[in-house]
Amino acid sequence: MRAHSARTEANARLTSWAGLALFVLLAAQGVTILQIHRLGAAHVVLGVALLGPLAVKLASTGWRFARYYRGDAEYGQAGAPQPLLRLLAPVVVASTAAVCATGVALLAVTPGHGSTLVLLHKATFTVWFGATAVHVLAYLVPALRWSGADLAARGPARVLASRTWRPVIVGASIAIGFGAAVPALAWAHPWVHWLSSSRGGDQ
């Protein structure tokens, strides 16, 4: 049984808000992948924009990880993820970092000079998709419950005292991400043009 304190529950709720934001953005990103030759610009914009809430989620889960393994009693009582999810977590984090890193790196090269990066981007995406699918199935319902508790103002007073800040933090991270996507889209113009051309459509 998990025994959350105000600190660990607040952390879980922030993680849930960030996770749900990523779920929505990644679902939209999935649509652009299916129509990448027509939606190349949207693919770049969403790919950069989701880096904001991703940073929040990695920070909140990283904090939980650090406190748990440093022997923090409250995080110890809250418990660790299930064994399968604990084994899967490094794969999720590593593949996420690889997909994002190769995607950003592609902005620095032009079509015809980034074939290796494209292959790496696709390969790491395949690994990421499989690992993240399991992660989402395990955490989506709890995330909906935690964020729903914030919206409905349910829970201990100490947790609710910070409830307005959690969506604000995640919302600000999304706004920062979309702000960063503006210059990124300019850098990605050669790729967008290439994807929409007959050559890009044949690849």
45 near 181, Cβ under 8 Å?
Answer: yes
What pLDDT, on the 0 to 100 scale, is given for residue 2?
A: 67
Q: Model pTM?
A: 0.91
Residues in the chain: 203
Domain ranges across the chain: 6-201
d(CA 32, CA 167): 26
Q: Is the pLDDT confidence value at 188 over 50?
A: yes
Give pLDDT tens digits for 25-81: 999 999 999 999 999 999 999 999 999 999 999 999 999 999 999 999 999 999 888
Mean pLDDT of 164-193: 94
Give pLDDT tens digits for 125-137: 999 999 999 999 9
